[in-house]
Amino acid sequence: MGSSSVLLRSSPLFFPRFSSTAIRRLNSSFCPPQSVIPASDQIRGGGGDFSWDDVVRLSQTRQHDDSSDLRGFFEKVTLCNRNSEKQCEFIPFVIDEHIVGYVHNGFAHHLRRYKDVFAFPEDPSYGGNFGCHVALHPLLSAPEDRTEAVGHVVKCLGEDVIPGIRNELYPVTSSFGEPEFFSLERAAAPYFGIKAYGVHMVGYVERENQKYLWVGKRSKLKPTYPGKLDHLVAGGLVLHHSLSRLEVRFLCSLGSPHGISCGENLVKECKEEAGIPRSLSSKATAVGAVSYMDINGYRLKRDVLFCYDLNLPEDFVPANEDGEVESFKLLPVTQVANIIRNTSFFKENCNLVIIDFLFRHGYIKPESLGYLKLLQSLRSGDCT
């Protein structure tokens, strides 16, 4: 293990610096009240059932709002960091003396039925309130054996317990860049509380001293957030669903956490989601990361999103190739900021990526009350 991988035997639960309660408090403390969106607009945004005409209308009718009012941005950060007070309901998931995730005590009852795969050693030294931790059976020592055994359990539990099976594998690591302990079905990742990583890119155009963002509208057939708005390109760092057991074993042995670098993964996603050729996508600039921690029932999402910017030519028009994006529209950055502040049109974690863009490009200024608190809150999760 590299120096960045530390043993967490005596560490407390690894949760964000800003709880959802704290973010709500910051929201009310630093930002003045803003006008209330009509209920009809809130409902439309919440369900993804809105048109580009709705998007443009709402962004323009609110363009004279106080741009220094950060309240709407704080609210979007809160949506990605819910229920931190419920972290006490989770049990550490430990492999080779490293905490790799957290399992809700209720979900653990399902796992206890599979005694040849999961064990529950009574050892309070890893933290938690239950005097034990979740582990894999000692005979499951090789990454590929662990992948197969846990995958079998996920398959047995089925859609009733873990909905949305996607046949994509997430790597399970102690931190980014470290060797994989095994690979886990993407839909199951939040049920085991593992860290998940993704690449998210904002594509923008500069025209007459003004910046515009390309915004995508997700297909209504998407299993997650159908019809919502996205920034131009995003994708999880996953192993391909068609990999054989030997191929998974080989990729687990590579230095890269998933056998493909973030940059190469971004190039792939750019082509699939927006038809951006390598000649353009290879020019994307890595600009940092955002992170969050969200608890929803048995699900614990601990996500880190690597952020990229790409300055696109004025004559480029994106074209989706994988059927996941319904359409695209080029909008002024100021209007996109209004949409985020005043509606729920965007997919929730995309809000964080675009807010980060607004900071870096000077649209959110230090003179705004709550500037530093909002900046810090974009990395509320464990960013390792």
Q: Is residue 319 part of a domain?
A: yes
Confidence at residue 44, expressed as pLDDT on a 0 to 100 scale: 30
Helix 348-360 vs helix 333-342: crossing angle, to nearest 10: 140
3-state secondary structure 179-231: CCCEEEEHHHHHHHCCEEEEEEEEEEEEECCEEEEEEEEECCCCCCCCCCEEC
- What CATH number is associated with residue 344? 3.90.79.10
Q: Is residue 46 part of a domain?
A: no
Q: What is the pLDDT along the chain (384 residues), one digit of tens a residue?
A: 333 333 334 344 444 444 545 545 544 444 333 333 332 333 233 467 899 999 999 988 654 456 789 999 999 999 999 999 999 999 999 999 999 999 999 999 999 999 999 999 998 899 989 999 999 999 999 999 999 999 999 999 999 999 999 888 999 999 998 989 999 999 999 999 999 999 999 999 999 999 999 999 999 998 889 999 999 999 998 754 444 445 545 554 443 335 689 999 999 999 999 999 999 999 999 999 999 999 999 999 999 999 999 999 999 999 999 999 999 999 999 999 999 999 999 999 999 999 999 999 999 999 999 999 999 999 999 999
Q: Which residues of 30-56 are buried (b: 16+ CB within 10 A; e: fewer)?
A: bbeebeebeeebeebbeebebeeebbe
For residue 371, the tally of other CB atoms under 10 A from its CB is 16
Distances (CA, A) of 233 to 22, 158, 218: 31, 30, 11
Structure tokens at 155: 């398959």
Q: CA–CA separation, 104 vs 121, rounded Å?
A: 16
Predicted structure pTM score: 0.84
Q: Is residue 201 part of a domain?
A: yes
How many independent structural domains does the chain possess? 1
Q: Which residues pair with 185 in a beta bridge?
A: 169
Q: Is residue 5 part of a domain?
A: no
Q: Is residue 14 part of a domain?
A: no
Distances (CA, A) of 318 to 68, 200, 204, 276, 281: 32, 16, 11, 7, 12
| Contact call for residues 280 and 310 (beta carbons, < 8 A) | yes
Q: Is residue 301 part of a domain?
A: yes
Q: Is residue 11 part of a domain?
A: no
- Residue reference for tokens 């490293």: 98
Q: Domain range spanning residue 302? A: 53-378
Q: CA–CA separation, 54 vs 37, rounded Å?
A: 13
| Contact call for residues 41 and 103 (beta carbons, < 8 A) | no
Q: Is residue 240 part of a domain?
A: yes
